[in-house]
Amino acid sequence: MIPPTTGDNAEDPRAETDSAPAPEVGSTGGSAVDWDALPGPLCTRMAELAAAALGEMRAGDVPVSLRPVMRFAVAKRAKLGKSNLLAAMRDSAVFRATVLEWCRKNRPGVLEPWQSDPLAAATAAVLLGTVTAPHYVELIGYRTEHGKLRDRCDSAVSRAEKLAKENEQLRGELAEAREAAQRAEQHSGADADRLRKRLRQQGVQLKEYKDEVTRLRTELERITEVKDREVAEIAGERDRERGRALDERAKAQRADREAEVARQSAREARRGDEVRLALLLETLEGSVAGLRREIGANQRGDEISGPRPAETVSGVRAHSGTTDEVPDVAALDRLLALPAVHLIIDGYNVTKTGYPDLPLAEQRDRLAQQSAVLAARSGVEVTVVFDGANVVAVPNAGPRGVRVLFSEQGVQADDVIRGLVESEPRGRQLVVATSDREVVDSVRKRGAYAVASAVLLERINPA
| CB neighbourhood size of 173 (10 A) | 14
Residues of the chain with pLDDT under 70: 1-31, 113-116, 185-191, 272-273, 275-324, 390, 392-397, 463
Distance (Å, whole) CA 322 – CA 337: 13
Question: Does 441 fall in a domain?
Answer: yes
Q: Of 246, 262, 278, which residue sits at a domain end?
A: 262
pLDDT confidence of residue 305: 46
Q: Is the domain of 165 the same as that of 84? A: no
CA distance 126 to 41: 13
Contacts of 412 by beta carbon, 8 Å cutoff, 6+ apart: 387
Say yes or no: 32 and 126 in one domain: yes
Taking the model in full, what pTM does it have? 0.34
For residue 64, being part of any structural domain is answered with yes
Amino acid at 142: Y
Residues 154 and 212 in one domain: yes
Judge whether 84 and 65 are in contact, CB under 8 Å.
Answer: yes
333 with 452, same domain: the answer is yes
Co-location of 368 and 341 in the same domain: yes
Element spanning 416, H or E = helix 413-423
Torsional sign, CA 438, 443, 446, 447: negative
Summarize pLDDT for 402-460 with one digit per residue, the tens.
999 998 888 899 999 999 999 888 778 899 999 999 999 999 998 899 999 999 999 98
Q: Is residue 2 part of a domain?
A: no
Residues 144 and 88 in one domain: no
Cα 237 to the chain's mean position, in Å?
Answer: 26
Three-state secondary-structure class, residue 201: helix
In a domain, 275, yes or no: no
Please, what is the average pLDDT of the chain?
77
Q: Are residues 117 and 47 in the same domain?
A: yes
Four-CA torsion 147, 152, 157, 158, nearest 10 degrees: 100
Q: Return the pLDDT at 170.
A: 87
- The answer to the question of residue 291 being in a domain is no
In-domain check, residue 312? no
Residue 102 sits in the same domain as residue 186? no
pLDDT, position 27: 37
Residue 362 belongs to a domain with what CATH number?
3.40.50
Tell which of 212, 234, 262 closes a domain.
262
- DSSP string for 105-123: HH-GGGG-SS-SSHHHHHH
Tally of CB atoms within 10 A around 112: 14
Residue 410 lies in a domain: yes
Q: CA angle at residue 381 from 378 to 382, to 5 degrees?
A: 100
Does residue 354 form part of some domain? Answer: yes
Question: For residues 326 and 455, is the Cβ–Cβ distance under 8 A?
Answer: yes
> How many domains does the structure of the chain reveal?
3
How far apart CA 371 and CA 349 sit, in angstroms, is 14
Q: What's the confidence (pLDDT) of residue 23? A: 40
Q: Residue 31: which of 125, 128, 130, 127 has the closest Cα?
A: 130
257 lies in the same domain as 149: yes
Range of the domain at 232: 140-262
Q: For residue range 294-351, what is the model confidence (pLDDT) as tens digits?
A: 565 444 444 444 443 333 333 334 334 334 678 899 999 999 988 889 999 999 999 9
Strands of 363-418 (E only): list them. Answer: 381-386, 402-406
- Can you name the residues that pair with 404 across neighbouring β-strands? 384
Of 262, 292, 311, the last residue of a domain is 262
Q: What does the pLDDT look like over 174-194, one tens digit per residue?
A: 888 888 777 776 665 666 778
Are 328 and 441 contained in the same domain? yes
Assess whether 374 and 413 both reside in one domain. Answer: yes
Please tell me whether residues 178 and 232 are part of one structural domain: yes
Say what angle helices 40-54 and 118-128 make with each other, to 10 degrees: 60
CA distances 316 to 42, 221, 304, 322, 455, Å, are: 69, 91, 20, 10, 21
